[in-house]
Amino acid sequence: MASPIPSPITSEVEAQIRRATHYPHAGYAPHEPTPRQRLALLLNIRELLYGGAAGGGKSDYLLMAALQYVNVPGYAALLLRRTFPQLAKADGLIPRAQEWLAGSDAIWSAKDSMWTFPSGARIEFGHIQHENDKYNYQGAAYQFVGFDELTQFSEDQYRYLISRVRRPSDPGVVLSDVPLRIRAGSNPGGIGHDWVKRRFLTEENDARRFLPAKLGDNPYLDAEEYAAGLQLLDPVTREQLLNGDWTVRKSGGYFKREWVEIVEAPPSDARAVRFWDLAATEPKAGADPDWTVGAKVWEKDGHYFVGPLVRKRISPQGIDSLMLGTARLDGNTVPVRIEQEPGSSGKIAISHFAKLLTGFDVRGLRATGSKLVRFAPFASQCEAGNVSFIEGPWITDCIDELESLPDGSHDDQGDAIAGAFNELAGGGMSFDDALDLMKGAA
């Protein structure tokens, strides 16, 4: 992980920043950038996440960055929020830009949500409320794309917009000198917390950095009054917004780590089942796809033991090898259960795995009810102290995911554990078996 630039900036660092090349701008901002903003404006890097804490001047920075090259003919910038109402609210980017640019030589088009400048450069305002809305920008070419509150976007939306950051085939001499930039401001939390943290704070990549900025870095706010308001928030949100803490996270309340104990092994005579939640997605650089998870759960005298889990991102061919190898290690006394997708494709898949695992007790189980409904019986037993986890390196990631339900970026481990638990607790009848039984009774 690359070391973030310290916050707040010392007077010595500030002096160095001011001695650096003056950042290009068209004079539209009503105030000078803060030292932190100036540094972000000067950084020659493709991707930058700015902020973290509330009050660090993220929105002002994004608008300043978008304005940097509006004197260049052909320059195009795009500023995004997840929904249009977020763009248009009182402190949103559109009213902020109108406050800055009203009375200037720039022209506003409400129909197109766009400012056009005498050079012909433009700044557009857009949103990606639904996943497929990202395709509204297909074919577009921007030299700057800015995301306001990045953790409200999905990683697929972000990655698709990166592909729109380019120059026209014949950019012209001046435009060819404009850097291609993706900039974002965000607090921790939100649906995209995990992937944003991974991309900018965890992974090592010279093409992207995180520049933290806190309330103390912004002299244009009444820091004392602003901080007092943040003190009224719950502890997790307060740490995220006041201190920009990416390590704290909200618990969904469905699972708490203090409910379970860690043990070395289950009893030797406990019965077990292995349940698979499949995701045939190979890993790709920078992506965060679902996982294939095989959860093993044991039971003895009403007490349940979880783990170790098998968890991988692999191709469909890799899944076959993984399932067969795991079944052989478990032994043919451990039933294998697989979540069955609806329709004929689900039946075909289960038939394939039954042939693959010849000699093992294999069944497909159709999911009924929501994920949380299926997880609730397991969580209830955890809260009652009737669940232990088997010691191993898999535990931390698993418990982090379970605590984040239902708002975390993944639920694969929770789905697999719930499937195995419900099979043990419910007697092991498949959906098709239940239908056949009801038909016979009729």
Residues 18, 105: Cα–Cα separation, whole Å: 28
Report which residue type is found at 201. Answer: L
Which residues, listed in sequence order, are joined to residue 185 by a DSSP beta bridge?
50, 148
Residues 439, 146: Cα–Cα separation, whole Å: 59
Give kind and range of the element (H or E) at residue 396. Answer: helix 395-404
Residue 440 has what pLDDT? Answer: 45
DSSP string for 165-229: B---SS--TTGGGSPPEEEEEE-S-STTHHHHHIIIIIS--TTEEEEEE-GGG-TTS-HHHHHHH
DSSP 72: S
Those residues with Cβ within 8 angstroms of residue 270's Cβ, 6 or more apart along the chain or in another chain: 298, 299, 300, 305
Residues 431, 367: Cα–Cα separation, whole Å: 8
Residue 294 falls in which region: left (phi positive, over 0), alpha (psi -120 to 50) or beta? beta
Residues 325, 327: Cα–Cα separation, whole Å: 5
Those residues with Cβ within 8 angstroms of residue 116's Cβ, 6 or more apart along the chain or in another chain: 106, 107, 109, 122
Say how many C-beta atoms besides its own lie within 10 A of residue 57's C-beta: 24
Give pLDDT tens digits along the chain (442 positions).
Answer: 444 444 444 555 455 544 444 455 556 888 888 888 888 888 889 999 998 756 668 888 999 999 999 989 999 999 999 999 999 998 899 999 999 999 899 999 999 999 999 999 999 999 998 888 999 999 999 999 999 999 889 888 999 999 999 987 666 667 888 899 999 998 887 778 888 988 998 887 889 999 888 666 565 555 566 556 656 555 666 666 666 677 766 666 678 888 898 899 999 999 999 999 998 565 554 456 778 999 999 999 999 999 889 999 888 888 999 999 999 999 999 999 999 888 888 889 999 999 999 999 999 998 777 788 888 889 889 989 999 999 888 888 888 888 888 777 788 999 999 999 999 997 444 444 434 444 444 4
Residue 297 has what pLDDT? Answer: 97
Residues 341, 213: Cα–Cα separation, whole Å: 46
Q: Is 349 helix (H, G, I), strand (E, B) or coil?
A: helix
Residue 370 has what pLDDT? Answer: 79
Please say whether the beta carbons of 417 and 295 come within 8 A.
Answer: yes
Please say whether the beta carbons of 238 and 245 come within 8 A.
Answer: no
Domains of the chain: residue spans and CATH: 11-243 (3.40.50.300), 257-441 (3.30.420.240)
Residue 250 has what pLDDT? Answer: 61
Give kind and range of the element (H or E) at residue 324. Answer: helix 316-330
Say how many C-beta atoms besides its own lie within 10 A of residue 419's C-beta: 26
Question: pTM of the full predicted structure?
Answer: 0.57
Those residues with Cβ within 8 angstroms of residue 371's Cβ, 6 or more apart along the chain or in another chain: 406, 411, 414, 415, 418
- 3-state secondary structure labels for all residues of 114-162: EEECCCCCEEEEEECCCHHHHHHHCCCCECEEEEECHHHCCHHHHHHHH
